[in-house]
Amino acid sequence: MTKKSIAVLMGGWSAEREVSLSSGKSVITALQELGHHVTPVDVTRNMAHLEKALTPRPDIIFNALHGVGGEDGIVQGMLEVLAIPYTHSGVTASAVAMNKVLSRKIFEREGIPVPTWKVVSRTDTQAAHPFPMPYVVKPVNEGSSKGVSIIRTQEDFNRFLRDWTFGDKILAEKYISGREIQVGVMGDQAIGAIEIRPHEEFYDYTAKYTPGKAQHLMPAPLSPASYQTVLDLALKAHRLLGCRGVTRTDFMYDEAQDQFYLLELNTQPGMTPLSLVQEIAAHQGITFNQLIAWMVEQAQCDH
């Protein structure tokens, strides 16, 4: 690989800032081991600071941001204006994937099953439960399971109302009792499915980023037919949104009905020591450094 000048965007101002910093740290180490000249950039809302950090202009941007501002098309649009090739998906795919309402409408229209859902306001939920308990509430535009709660009891509901900090719009969905299956896609190939068995109620933020909080089963122990089905669904979702580079798609699997339900597609999956895409890739014989090298090679602008 030709050695490049690469700026790694990390941090940001979303609820996933600490995850992004961890991803960025891992990426920087890999890029340095690959021999690239690396500039870490802790992104804030100060655009003058960002412009200065990107001067002189790098060859490539490795986007290790997560969440609002970094994963939703905003920073991608700025990089399109600057015409600097960047990793992961472009403006439109990033914006649509991050918006769980828009993406679910597309998935439903194209025959990909999703949980029964509705968008409600915080006031609506105070007046009446959106679904019979148990049900799930989550932000429309967040990742890493930030803000996700399973409402089983009135106490759960009261806690949700007290702690909610993600705006007036709430995505509510019927609870699906099942297995948590996640699929990694590289370019135009679904490379594998992993099952996550959290030790607590579900694969929440703590379970994702705390060692020992969840069991990872790679490959996911599914029948050959079911395994292929979930790979096909993830690749179809990736293509529908026009994604590129690496993505991870999260499913719930109702084993009794042999039915997968797509929860969300992540256009910038974590690169932390506990993140899943590199674990899926490793099962295919792809090292973390090889994964990062491939992502750098795929960096581009939309236009």
User: Is residue 270 annotated as a catalytic residue, yes or no?
Assistant: yes
Q: Among this protein's residues, is 264 annotated catalytic?
A: yes
Active site residue 162: no
- Which of 171, 146, 140 has its CA nearest to residue 72? 140
Return phi, psi of residue 133, to 5°. Answer: -70, 145
From 175, 203, 209, 261, active-site residue: 209
If one counts every other C-beta atom within 10 angstroms of the C-beta of residue 76, the result is: 26
* 276 CA to centre of own chain: 10
Q: Is 209 a catalytic residue?
A: yes
Catalytic residue among 12, 175, 248, 253: 248
Q: With residue 202 as reference, give the H or E element that holds it.
A: none
Q: What is the dihedral of CA 31, 219, 274, 147, to 10 degrees?
A: 120
| 297 classed as catalytic | no
- Over the range 279-288, which residues count as b (16 or more CB within 10 Å of their CB) and which as e? bbbeeeebeb
**Distance of alpha carbon 158 from alpha carbon 14, whole angstroms:** 25
Catalytic residue among 14, 16, 135, 145: 16
19/205 Cα distance (integer angstroms): 10
In the block, which residue shows the tokens 């472009």?
A: 90
- In 79-213, the DSSP E strands lie at 117-121, 135-138, 149-151, 169-174, 179-186, 189-198
Instruction: Show the CA angle centred on residue 16, arms to residues 135 and 211, nearest 5°.
Output: 80
State the alpha helices, DSSP H only, in 153-254: 154-163, 205-209, 224-240
Q: Which of 250, 253, 261, 275 is catalytic?
A: 250
Q: Which position among 14, 145, 266, 275 bears the catalytic label?
A: 266
How is residue 182 written in tokens?
């996640």
CA-based end-to-end distance of the chain: 24
From 26, 144, 145, 275, active-site residue: 144
Q: Which member of 11, 69, 90, 270 is catalytic?
A: 270
Is 250 assigned a catalytic role? yes
Q: Which residues pair with 300 in a beta bridge?
A: 86
Sign of the torsion angle spanned by Cα atoms 270, 228, 102, 90? positive
**Positions marked catalytic:** 16, 144, 209, 248, 250, 264, 266, 270
